[in-house]
Structure 1
Amino acid sequence: MGVTVTPASPADRDDVVALWREAGLTRPWNDPVADFDLALAGPASAVLAARAGGRLAGSVMVGFDGHRGWVYYLAVSLTQRGEGLGRALMQASERWLEQRGCPKIQLMVRGDNADARGFYAALGYDVQDVVTIGRRLGGKV
């Protein structure tokens, strides 16, 4: 496959955010540029970039809150889906979290995203009996 997965750098930001948008992962109420910058700002999170032939082909944001690991923004270029890049990114995410002593990985998938749910099920992830409750801070809607 010729794919490498390495931590993204600030120089990757525009390409990674464009990939997240192409994959339909962004929402108007979340600022993906700020999310990318914040993930790179500290040791508890990272954005990992998959490159094939030297070009960005996929990415994932990963973080450890001290209790659970979290995976966000897993995206693979539309032209390279089905080539194992998503699996490689999840394996890299798991290694990143294991290196930090993380005992469990969590992620959120929109309820109507059957393709993503199937992808994660094929990797051994299962739907958990939890309800996500949230509130936006800073006056954002």
Structure 2
Amino acid sequence: MTELRIRAATPEDLDTVLAFWKVAAEGTSISDDRAGVEKLVERDPEALLLAEQGGELAGTVIAGFDGWRCHLYRLAVHPDRRRQGVASALLAAAEERFVRLGGRRADAVVLTRNETAHHAWGAAGFAPQEQWRRWVKPLTA
């Protein structure tokens, strides 16, 4: 097995990332389009982390920091590469980024119905906070 490489996405990666999410990510988001991901990379060029193996995209995570809280989104691993340490490597890189920026706690957005993700997040030391519920309001049609 070839070595896993973690790096920040560039604008040239975005079409590949969007296609990857259709295969590897669970659910969709209002910002899962070229404009949404371009804005992310433009605003914070180090937030979208990619895991590459053998020259192919193996996984992604968005590690966003707003100066107060550390947020994790779109942890996705290609189905053929799951249970091989890709998610762990991505989360370790995200946590290193957060600590470097002064972050003190990370949260993750995880779909309630995604049982596979629950196991992965739990193994990484995350736990649901039952007293909180995420409220959302789309800002565009």
Q: Name the TM-score, length of structure 1 as normaliser.
A: 0.89
Q: One-letter code of the match for 2:138? A: R
C-alpha spacing 1:105/1:44, structure 2 compared with 1 (3 Å): farther
Q: Which shifted more, 21-30 or 114-123?
A: 21-30
Q: 1:33-48 alignment to 2 at 5 Å?
A: 33-43=34-44, 46-48=47-49
In 2, are the aligned partners of 1:68 and 1:103 still within 8 Å (CA)?
A: yes
Q: One-letter code of the match for 1:135? A: K
Query: Is 1:133 aligned to residue 107 of structure 2?
Result: no
Task: Name the residue aligned to 1:91.
Answer: 92
**Per-residue deviation, 1:136:** 1.4
Q: CA–CA distance in 2 between the matches of 1:119 and 1:137? A: 31
C-alpha spacing 1:44/1:58, structure 2 compared with 1 (3 Å): closer
In 2, are the aligned partners of 1:39 and 1:61 still within 8 Å (CA)?
A: no
- Unaligned segments of structure 2, at least 5 residues: none
C-alpha spacing 1:98/1:28, structure 2 compared with 1 (3 Å): closer
- Unaligned segments of structure 1, at least 5 residues: none
Q: Secondary structure at the match of 1:74?
A: strand
Aligned residues: 139
Q: Secondary structure at the match of 1:127?
A: coil
**Per-residue deviation, 1:39:** 1.5
Q: Secondary structure at the match of 1:106?
A: strand
Q: One-letter code of the match for 1:47? A: L
Q: How much is the aligned-residue C-alpha RMSD, in angstroms?
A: 1.7
C-alpha spacing 1:35/1:61, structure 2 compared with 1 (3 Å): farther
